Structure 1
């Protein structure tokens, strides 16, 4: 029974983390298009708050996932592939923080088009992770 609660909490926090990973780069698209002023400041504030909110959620998702892996002995090639994708998502998460710092110092030079492509990585990773977890192809 505990396994199901841990699994449910893991899924809840993963979904919440992905919501942040989907929305934060979308704010970056708008920041890249905004001129200096009130709009830029408002978007920057939204970015800061979202990043601060979603980081503990990421840690909880990782913690419950680790608990499932080590506590309940999940194995298989699919899990190794999933862990590679999770590691890439963690790197992406911290890359978002670096980008936020550049927006804060007004040194970010990527265009809104670049951020539109940057925004697609979590979507592709989500597809791959769900397929790996549900189908377990290897």
Structure 2
């Protein structure tokens, strides 16, 4: 029964994290589109608050994911090929998360060098990886 609570928390924190990962680059789109300093400053506040809000969800997703693996045991882990692929894809998602941090810091210093179009693409880029992660977790194809 405990494993279901762990799984539920893992899914909840993953959903909250993904919502933030989709929203932060959208803020970057709008931030990169303005030349008005007061508007830029408002986006800086929003970006900082979102970053501080969403990053613990990334950590809690990891904590509950590791707890799930530990609950199922090492024998299950060894034979779950889908999980190894999922974890590999998650390395890219965490790298994306920290790349957003680098960009957030550049906006904070008014050193952005990218267009709003770049951020639109960046906002949509992780969708395929996240889709693959979810499908692997649900279908467990191998």
Q: 2:108 matched to 1:108?
A: no
Counterpart of 1:16 in structure 2 is 16
2:122 maps to which of 104, 118, 122: 118
Q: 2:81 matched to 1:97?
A: no
Distance 1:104 1:88 in 2: 24
TM-score (norm 2): 0.93
Pairs within 5 Å for 1:20-59: 20-59=20-59
Say which SS state the counterpart of residue 126 (structure 2) adopts.
helix
Deviations 1:65-100 (A, max 9, x none): 010012213431110110011111111111111001
On the 8 A contact 1:25/1:96 being kept in 2, the answer is: yes
Distance 2:119 2:100 in 1: 11
Deviations 1:28-55 (A, max 9, x none): 0011101132111111110000000101
- 1:116 shift after superposition: 0.7
Runs (4+) of structure 1 exceeding 2 A deviation are: none
Aligned residues: 138
Ranges in structure 1 where 5+ consecutive residues have no aligned partner = none
On the 8 A contact 1:18/1:122 being kept in 2, the answer is: no
